[in-house]
Amino acid sequence: MTITITVDGKRHEVTASPDTPLLYVLRNDLGLNAPLFGCGLEQCGACKVLRGAEAVMTCMLPVGDVDGASITTLAGLVEDGELHPVQQAFLDEQAAQCGYCSNGMIITIAALLWRTPHPTNEQIRDALDGNLCRCGSHGRILRAVRRAETLMWGDENG
């Protein structure tokens, strides 16, 4: 079956079984390496991308379910050579150690901040609940969210 998806602004026609996980198409057919294979069970978040403005896990998402959709990967967040504010905040706050979780964390935070410009700490924790970080960088990640919030929307208190 031929499936049409737009990934990072570029339209692709891919021949795949509709039940093939989107992650496999992104990595194997399109050669993209930002969404990572972590658990394969939608439990770690390493495979996340944006479908529109929604963060979705791709390791079990059938590519047939995204036929005609617009997908944004971590690389697609970069605009005109400038890092997305969440990506910049992760660098500024040194929010990753091994970096394996960073793809899912950044995608999730970008979706959260588009939906909720000034989230509470509880909203941040709830959004990141499906993303695992084994390095224990959670404090730095929370600081990165706050820095990205300011970069994107300014300081609501100032």
Task: Please tell me the predicted confidence (pLDDT) of residue 156.
Answer: 66
Bridging pattern class, strands 2-7 and 70-72: parallel
Does residue 110 lie within any of the structural domains? Answer: yes
HEC letters along 58-114: CCCCEHHHHCCCEEECCHHHCECCECCHHHHHHHHCCCCCCCCCHHHHHHHHHHHHH
pLDDT attached to residue 155: 80
Q: Hey, is 157 helix, strand or coil?
A: coil
User: Which sign, positive or negative, has the C-alpha torsion 105, 111, 117, 123?
Assistant: negative
Distance CA 12, CA 153 (A): 33
Same-domain pairing of 145 and 99: yes
Q: What is the pLDDT of residues 14-55, one digit of tens each?
A: 999 999 999 999 999 999 999 999 999 999 999 999 999 999
Q: Is 80 within a domain? A: no
pTM beyond 0.85:
yes
Q: Are residues 67 and 121 in the same domain?
A: no
Q: Are residues 70 and 23 in the same domain?
A: yes
Q: Is residue 70, in this structure, part of any structural domain at all?
A: yes
Output the six-digit token pair for 45: 């978040």
pLDDT confidence of residue 157: 56
Both 67 and 93 in one domain: the answer is no
CA 90 to chain centroid, in Å, comes to 13
Instruction: State how many domains the chain has.
Output: 2
Domain hosting 145: range is 85-153
**DSSP-assigned beta bridge partners for residue 79:** 82
48: CATH: 3.10.20.30
Torsion, Cα 98 57 109 87, to 10 degrees, reads 50
pLDDT digits (tens, 9 = 90+) for 68-125: 999 999 999 999 999 999 999 999 999 988 999 999 999 999 999 999 999 999 999 9
